[in-house]
Chain A
Amino acid sequence: MDTFLQQLVNGVTLGSVYAIVALGYTMVYGIIQLINFAHGEVVMLGAMVAYSVIVALAGAGGALPPLAILAIATLTAIPVCMVVGYLLERVAYRPLRRAPRLAPLITAIGLSIVLQNIALIIWTRNPLPYPQVIATVPYRLTATPDGATITNVQIGIIGLSIVMMAGLLLLVYRTRFGVAMRAVAQNPQVAGLMGIDINRIISATFALGAALAAVAGVMDASYYGVAHYQMGFLLGLKAFSAAVLGGIGNLAGAMLGGLLMGMIEALGAGYVGELTNLCHLSGWSDALAQRCVNDPHLELFGSNYQDVFAFVVLILVLVFRPSGLLGERVSDRA
C-alpha cells in the first residue's frame, strides 16, 4: 500500500510537469495545427538558463534566501524562452505556413537538433548537477515508519502547476486576448476579417507556451537534480503523447493527459514487471517452475520498457480514439 501510494505521488509530480509541457504543444497545435517539435528543447533551455543563474547567484555570496534565488532564476529563464519560442515561430514556421505539411515538420526537427547542439556548446555535454537550493523535506503520508512520503519540492511542483493551469484557463476564457486566441484557432480567415492580428496572436501563443516550458524545465531539473542538453527531447515527446491522450487542442485535455501519462509511467514501471512475470505461470509448466527457482524475475516487460509506455499509449490513442479523451477535433481531417 505504501509502495502504491508512493508511486502515485511520483506519478502525479511527474504528470504535473508533463501537463505544463503538454499545454505548450496543445496551444500551438490548437491554433495552427502544427506539432512544434522543438518545444522540448525550449524546456531544456529553460532548465539550463535557470541553472546558470542559480550557480551565479549562489556563488555571488549566497545572501539571498533560497526561494528568491529559484524565483529569480525562473523569472530569467521565462523571458529567454519566450524570445526563443517567438523566434522559432517567426524564423522557421511562419514562412512555411502555406507549405506542404512535411516542410514545417522537417524544420522543426532541424531546429530541435540546432538548439540541442547550441546548448551542448554552451553548457557542455556533461550532466549538470542541479543546485539543490531548497533542502528537501519529506512529509510522511501514512503512519508506517519508512512509508510513503511527499516532499516539499513535490508539493511545490504540484501546487505551482495547478496555479499555472488555472491562470492559463483564466487567460484563455476570461480575457480579450483569450477570445482572440480562440477565434484564430476556430477560423483564422474569419478572425482576421474581424480585425484580429493573426500573426500577433500566433506569436503570442508560441511565447506563452515557451514561458510554461521554461517553468516546467526548472521544475523537472530541480526535482530530479540533474539537467543536460538532451533532457528536453524525450520529455517533449512524452508530453506530446500526453497532449494527444487528453485530446490535442484542448487545454483541459492536456492537463488530464499529462497527469495520466505521469501515472502510467510510474505505475507501469512499478507494476507491469510484476504483472508480466512468467513465474506466475509456474503452475502450468514444470520447466518454467524450475527456471523460476533459479531466476524468480522472468518478467516479460519491466521497468526497462518505461520509455515505451508513452509511445504505446500514443499509438493506441491514435488508433482507437484519435480525438483523445476530451477532444472534439478529428485528427484526420486531411
Chain B
Amino acid sequence: MNHSAPGMKTSVAAPLAQPLPGVRRPATAWIGIVLLAVALAVLPFVLTGIGTAWVRITNLAILYCFLALGLNIVVGFAGLLDLGYIAFYGVGAYTYALLASPHFGLHLPFWIILPIGALIACLFGVLLGAPTLKLRGDYLAIVTLGFGEIVRIFLNNLSRPFNLTNGAQGITLIDPFRIDGFTFGKPHTIGSLVVSTPVNYYYFLLIVLVAVIVLNLRLQNSRVGRAWEAIREDEIAARAMGINTRNMKLLAFAMGASFGGIAGGMFSAMQQFISPESFVLVESIMVLSMVVLGGMGNVFGVIVGALLLSYVPEVLRYTVGPAQMALFGRTLIDPEVIRMLMFGLALVLMMLFRPAGILPSAVRKREFETARRPGNGQGTP
C-alpha cells in the first residue's frame, strides 16, 4: 500500500482486501477528494450548457472506463493478453436486451438483469479461460481473438433455426433503467432544474464507476492481486510459492468478463437498440489501446487512457477535417483513418519507448526495465 494512489477512499469497504494499515491522509488530500466529487457532480450541468451531446459523449467515455478497467484486470494485473474482450461486453449487452425488450416479451428490472449479465459474461469468461489458460501468452492472444469473433458471429447468426438474438437486425425498444416509477429514459424536473436522460445515466454511471475503481484498487492490493502480480512476473516461481496459478488466472478472466458484462448491460439500456455490429474486433483493440496507453496495471492510468481515447475522436472530428480543408482545400485523410493510425502507432511507440504507459504502475515499470537490461534474457533471445 506504499504506492497508494491519491484520491482513493479508504473508508469504503472492499470485500476482497484485508484491512489496510492505518494510512493517514493529510487534510489537503481530503479537500482534493471533496473538490473532485463536487466537480464531477456539477459536470453534467456544465456540459449541458455547452451541449447535451457532450454528456452523452462523457457517458460513453465512462463506459469505456469500465471496459478498460475490466480488461486491465486480465491484461494489466494478470498479464494475460485478451484480444476478444468485447465479446463479454456483447454478451452483457445481449443479456440485458433479451431480458428487457419486446423480443421475448420480458421486462425484468435492471437491478436483476445487470447481475445476471455479469454472471453470464463471467461464465463465458470461464468457458474461454478453462481450456486455454495453460497456453502461453501469444497463443492465448490468438485464441481470445478467435473467441471474440466466434461470439460475434454467433450473435449475428442465432436467428436461425430458432430466433434467439434476432441476428444482424438487432434488438429494438430495449427498456431504459427504471426504479419503480422513475425511468432513466425520460427527462425529470427537480424544481427548476431539468435533468435530461443522459444526465440521469451519467450519475448512475459515475456511482458505479467509483465503486468499480475502489474495487479495483482494493483488488490490486489484495491477496488475489498480489498472486496475479506474481503470475505475471514469473509463473513458475509463482506456482512454486504455492499459488494455484490456474484458478487465479481463471479468476482474472471471470472478473474481467463480469465487468465487461455489466458495461454491456448499461450500453444496451442507454442505446435502446443493439446489433452485433457494435461488438467488432476493432472495439477490442480500442479498449486494449486504452489499457496500454494509460499504463497496464495502473487503475488511474487506465482511466486516463480510456478518457483520452474516448475524447480524441471527438476532437479529431473538429480539427482534422477543417485543418485539411484549410491546408489542401479538401479532406485527404478521414479523421477516422487518422484515429486508427494513431491507435496503431500509439501501441507500437508505447511499447518501444514507454512500455509501462502514460501513468505507469511502479511494478510494471520495473518489470519492463529489468527485461530490457541486457543479460537478463530468459532463454529466449
Direct contact of A and B (CB under 8 A): yes
On A, residues with C-beta under 8 Å from B are 32-35, 92, 95-107, 109-114, 116-118, 120-121, 188-189, 198, 237, 240-241, 244, 278, 295, 298-300, 304-305, 307-308, 310-312, 314-315, 318-319, 322, 331-334
Write out the residue numbers on chain A whose beta carbons fall within 8 Å of the beta carbon of B138: 33-35, 101, 105
Query: Nearest Cβ in chain B — how far from A105, in angstroms?
Result: 5
Query: Nearest Cβ in chain A — how far from B372, in angstroms?
Result: 6
Q: Quick check: B139 and A331 within 8 Å, CB to CB?
A: yes
Contact flags (1/0) for B141-179 with A, using CB distance below 8 Å? 111011101100110110011000000000000000000
> Given known contacts A300-B161, A308-B154, A315-B147, what 7 new A-B pairs fall within 8 Å (CB)?
A33-B380, A96-B352, A103-B355, A110-B348, A113-B340, A319-B132, A331-B139
A114-B341, A308-B153, A319-B131 as given contacts; A102 in contact with B75, CB under 8 Å:
yes
Query: Nearest Cβ in chain A — how far from B130, in angstroms?
Result: 9
Q: Quick check: B142 and A99 within 8 Å, CB to CB?
A: no
Q: Which of A103, A198, A299, A334 contacts B161 (CB 8 A)?
A: A299
Report the nearest B residue to A102, measured CB to CB.
B81
Q: Quick check: B381 and A32 within 8 Å, CB to CB?
A: yes
Q: Quick check: A98 and B346 within 8 Å, CB to CB?
A: no
Query: Nearest Cβ in chain A — how far from B38, in angstroms?
Result: 38
Q: Quick check: A112 and B344 within 8 Å, CB to CB?
A: yes
A105-B141, A109-B347, A189-B381 as given contacts; A305 in contact with B153, CB under 8 Å:
yes
Instruction: Decide yes or no whether B329 CB sits under 8 A from chain A.
Output: no
A107-B352, A112-B344, A312-B150 as given contacts; A322 in contact with B142, CB under 8 Å:
no
Instruction: Decide yes or no whether B345 CB sits under 8 A from chain A.
Output: yes
Q: Quick check: B142 and A110 within 8 Å, CB to CB?
A: no
The CA of A102 and the CA of B288, in the complex, are separated in Å by 12
Top 6 nearest A-B pairs (CB, nearest first) are A110-B347, A113-B344, A311-B146, A114-B344, A298-B161, A110-B348
Q: Which of A96, A237, A278, A315 contacts B131 (CB 8 A)?
A: A315
Instruction: Decide yes or no whether B374 CB sits under 8 A from chain A.
Output: yes
Write out the residue numbers on chain B whose beta carbons fall within 8 Å of the beta carbon of A92: 348, 351-352
Q: Which of A112, A117, A298, A331 contacts B135 (CB 8 A)?
A: A331
Q: Quick check: B153 and A106 within 8 Å, CB to CB?
A: no
Contact flags (1/0) for B347-374 with A, using CB distance below 8 Å? 1101110010000000000011001111
Instruction: Decide yes or no whether B283 CB sits under 8 A from chain A.
Output: no
The CA of A334 and the CA of B142, in the complex, are separated in Å by 17
Write out the residue numbers on chain B whose beta carbons fall within 8 Å of the beta carbon of A332: 134-136
Query: Nearest Cβ in chain A — how far from B68, in angstroms?
Result: 15
A102-B75, A117-B344, A237-B145 as given contacts; A331 in contact with B376, CB under 8 Å:
no
Q: Quick check: B79 and A102 within 8 Å, CB to CB?
A: yes
A98-B377, A110-B347, A332-B134 as given contacts; A121 in contact with B333, CB under 8 Å:
yes
On B, residues with C-beta under 8 Å from A are 75, 79, 81, 83, 131-132, 134-139, 141-143, 145-147, 149-150, 153-154, 156-157, 160-161, 235-236, 285, 288, 292, 296, 333, 337, 340-341, 343-348, 350-352, 355, 367-368, 371-374, 376-377, 380-381
The CA of A319 and the CA of B75, in the complex, are separated in Å by 21
Query: Nearest Cβ in chain B — how far from A234, in angstroms?
Result: 9
Interface of A is mostly: helix
Write out the residue numbers on chain A whose beta carbons fall within 8 Å of the beta carbon of B161: 278, 295, 298-300
A33-B380, A101-B137, A102-B137 as given contacts; A334 in contact with B235, CB under 8 Å:
yes
The CA of A114 and the CA of B156, in the complex, are separated in Å by 28
Write out the residue numbers on chain B whose beta carbons fall within 8 Å of the beta carbon of A188: 381
Write out the residue numbers on chain B whose beta carbons fall within 8 Å of the beta carbon of A109: 83, 285, 288, 344, 347
Query: Nearest Cβ in chain B — how far from A309, in angstroms?
Result: 10
Q: Quick check: A240 and B142 within 8 Å, CB to CB?
A: yes
Report the nearest B residue to A192, measured CB to CB.
B381
Write out the residue numbers on chain B whose beta carbons fall within 8 Å of the beta carbon of A198: 381
Q: Which of A99, A105, A118, A311 contacts B368 (CB 8 A)?
A: A99
Write out the residue numbers on chain B whose beta carbons fall within 8 Å of the beta carbon of A102: 75, 79, 81, 137, 296
The CA of A300 and the CA of B132, in the complex, are separated in Å by 25
Write out the residue numbers on chain A whose beta carbons fall within 8 Å of the beta carbon of B346: 110
Report the nearest A residue to B161, measured CB to CB.
A298
The CA of A102 and the CA of B71, in the complex, are separated in Å by 14
Query: Nearest Cβ in chain A — how far from B300, in angstroms?
Result: 20
Write out the residue numbers on chain A whose beta carbons fall within 8 Å of the beta carbon of B143: 311, 314-315, 318
A99-B368, A110-B346, A117-B337 as given contacts; A304 in contact with B137, CB under 8 Å:
no
Q: Quick check: B351 and A110 within 8 Å, CB to CB?
A: yes
The CA of A100 and the CA of B288, in the complex, are separated in Å by 17
Write out the residue numbers on chain B whose beta carbons fall within 8 Å of the beta carbon of A322: 135, 139
Write out the residue numbers on chain A whose beta carbons fall within 8 Å of the beta carbon of B347: 106-107, 109-110, 113
Q: Quick check: A315 and B351 within 8 Å, CB to CB?
A: no
Write out the residue numbers on chain B whose beta carbons fall within 8 Å of the beta carbon of A319: 131-132
Q: Quick check: B371 and A99 within 8 Å, CB to CB?
A: yes
Q: Quick check: B139 and A99 within 8 Å, CB to CB?
A: no
Report the nearest A residue to B378, measured CB to CB.
A98
Write out the residue numbers on chain B whose beta carbons fall within 8 Å of the beta carbon of A106: 81, 288, 292, 347, 350-351
Query: Nearest Cβ in chain A — how far from B340, in angstroms?
Result: 5
Report the nearest B residue to A199, measured CB to CB.
B381
Q: Which of A32, A98, A315, A318 contacts B371 (CB 8 A)?
A: A98
Write out the residue numbers on chain B whose beta carbons fall within 8 Å of the beta carbon of A244: 139
Query: Nearest Cβ in chain B — how far from A240, in angstroms?
Result: 6
Q: Quick check: B146 and A237 within 8 Å, CB to CB?
A: yes
Report the nearest A residue to B377, measured CB to CB.
A98
The CA of A315 and the CA of B128, in the complex, are separated in Å by 10
A98-B372, A117-B337, A322-B135 as given contacts; A110 in contact with B141, CB under 8 Å:
no
Q: Which of A32, A98, A117 contacts B340 (CB 8 A)?
A: A117
Query: Nearest Cβ in chain A — how far from B84, in angstroms?
Result: 10
